[in-house]
Amino acid sequence: MMNHAGKSGAFARAFGALGLLLSVAATASCASGTPDAAKPENGEPASGGSAAKELQAEFVTGEGPKTIAEAKGKVVIVDFWATYCDPCRKSFPKYQELVDQFGGDLAVIAVSVDEPGDVSPEKIKEFAKETNVKFAVVWDKEHKTSKDYNPEKMPTSFVLDKEGNIRHTHAGYETGEEEKIAAEVKELLGK
């Protein structure tokens, strides 16, 4: 017969294993890309050199351009993300640092692909607040923009030149990714 301390130790181990499984599942779902409803018909991600399609998403929070048209004349990072995505939580503050570094020459528009049944505008605002970002955050509730861009995984960012053409794509986020993006932004700004 197991004593009370043995039962609680077994419970703690089982609960810890469950937490690890949930963490792995969340990370795997984050890397798996957009929901099936968001897959484009041709199955190909938006490619470098092509004109970026206009965003069809609802503004939620933040400052700066909310559409490609509003951002004309700036280098733009269109970042597809989700509230369940841990790498997204790491990338957001780095993108804000880039906006601060390049001043008015760079805009970030963060496009949430969260399902309407899973989040609310308040939850998206809370994510932006927790990650200390000020750039525009929009919500692609109907996955129209996701279908146009077909991000490979969460997060995926598209770097656009001042004319609104896709020049670089970053599928996923790892520490140091912001340095690559900063170099691309400098090149596109001619600095």
Distance between the two ends of the chain, CA-based, in angstroms? 73
Report pLDDT for 48.
57
> In whole angstroms, what separates CA 113 from the centre of its chain?
8
Q: Kindly state whether residue 101 falls inside one of the protein's structural domains.
A: yes
The catalytic residues are 85, 88
Q: Kindly state whether residue 30 falls inside one of the protein's structural domains.
A: no
User: Has residue 36 got a pLDDT over 60?
Assistant: no
Q: Kindly state whether residue 171 falls inside one of the protein's structural domains.
A: yes
Q: List pLDDT tens digits, range 90-131.
A: 999 999 999 999 989 999 999 999 999 999 999 999 999 999
The pTM of this model reads 0.77
Please give the C-alpha separations between residue 176 and each of 44, 153, 172, in angstroms, as whole numbers: 26, 18, 12
Peptide bond between residue 155 and the one before it cis (omega within 30 degrees of 0): yes
Q: Kindly state whether residue 142 falls inside one of the protein's structural domains.
A: yes
Q: Kindly state whether residue 152 falls inside one of the protein's structural domains.
A: yes
Q: Kindly state whether residue 133 falls inside one of the protein's structural domains.
A: yes
CATH assignment of the domain containing 170: 3.40.30.10
Count of domains for the chain: 1
Q: Kindly state whether residue 42 falls inside one of the protein's structural domains.
A: yes
C-alpha 123/C-alpha 115 separation (Å) is 12
C-alpha 84/C-alpha 26 separation (Å) is 7
Report pLDDT for 49.
67
At a CB cut-off of 8 Å and minimum separation 6, what does 25 contact? none
Q: Kindly state whether residue 4 falls inside one of the protein's structural domains.
A: no
Query: What is the domain extent for residue 52?
Result: 36-189
Q: List pLDDT tens digits, range 138-162.
A: 999 999 999 999 999 999 999 999 9
